[in-house]
Amino acid sequence: MERLTLGNSDIEVTRFCLGTWNMGGGRGWGPEDADAAVGIIQHALDQGCNFIDTARVYGRGKSEQTVGRALAGRRDQAIIATKMMQCKPEEVSGNIDASLECLRTEYVDLYICHWPSPSLPLEPFFEEMIRHKDAGKIRAIGVSNFNRQQMQVALNYGVVSLQPPLSILWRIPEDLLTFCRESNVAVTPYSPLAQGLLTGRYTRQKTEKLGGPRDSNRLFSEEIFAHSLEVATHVDRIADRLGCTSAQVALAWLLQTPGVTSVIVGASSISQFDQNIGALDVELSEEDYKLLDEAGRAVWDRLGPEATMWEWKPT
């Protein structure tokens, strides 16, 4: 599997990153049990995927524990990314140490600020992160859900990656993508399939909207859902013409988006993971890419540039 350098770091990551939010337990939308989750992670490694993403808040440490269990004896094969919410500087050390314990490792390759807190200054937080980087507990620092202004601050502290929600349906401001490209900050999108909207589930199978995090997802809201499905239908038609799955088309679109280094994709089974990485063999024409870009942007314009996917931001 192809690898790219993660921004300004010396870390090389595969173009697919296995996301483990659904391995934190609860919500009824992940693997059936921890053993199945471990099997998916180990299978991903076997297929050449070296990038694993988790977070402190995924199951209150359960996801990190699952990743740590799966990587026992195979730590050198994986690039681990985990996240903490921005907190007071004196709380950073406890969060990092808790992650290391759950992950059964002495260092994290990429430690990400999960969400910035408007009530806290960023500088003291990053200064504390730098201290732990210098101590060898972190190889590189990343951020998630940061806007353009916050990214400028983060760049002053050597941040190498931005993890935003990004898909055909959900966008981030173009100036933010441009800033990352020009600053050599890796973009590693999450929710690339819009929580199932771009997989054909709702257009081909007529499945009712599922519960869990989709309940508050703006793309599933009453005023947006029908427009989301129109875009999904475009994805389906291209998939039929190319002889691949709708999910593979949606992922291929992101992989062909300038500035995107690695796409974070969850999987509830080994077969689903294998289908997803099939996107690496799908190449969209310029015409197809543009069609999907314009159709998805029309939905995004209905949401507005300050929208958050689940209508939540930290205070």
| Residues recognised as catalytic | 58
Nearest Cα neighbor of 13 from 253, 261, 260 is 261
Question: 246-255 vs 270-277: helix axis angle to the nearest 10?
Answer: 50
Interatomic CA distance for residues 39 and 70, integer angstroms: 7
Alpha helices in the chain (DSSP H): 34-46, 62-70, 89-103, 122-134, 148-155, 174-182, 225-242, 246-255, 270-277, 286-303
In the chain, the amino acid numbered 93 is: S
In the chain, the amino acid numbered 311 is: E
Interatomic CA distance for residues 168 and 271, integer angstroms: 23
Own/partner contacts of 303-306, CB < 8 Å, gap of 24 or more, are 303/170, 303/218, 303/224, 305/173
What tokens were used for 156?
Answer: 């002053």
Interatomic CA distance for residues 14 and 234, integer angstroms: 28
DSSP 71-131: TTT-GGG-EEEEEE----HHHHHHHHHHHHHHHT-S-EEEEEE-S--TTS-HHHHHHHHHH
SS3 assignment, position 13: strand
What tokens were used for 123?
Answer: 């500088």
Interatomic CA distance for residues 274 and 278, integer angstroms: 7
∠142-256-50 over CA atoms, to 5°? Answer: 50
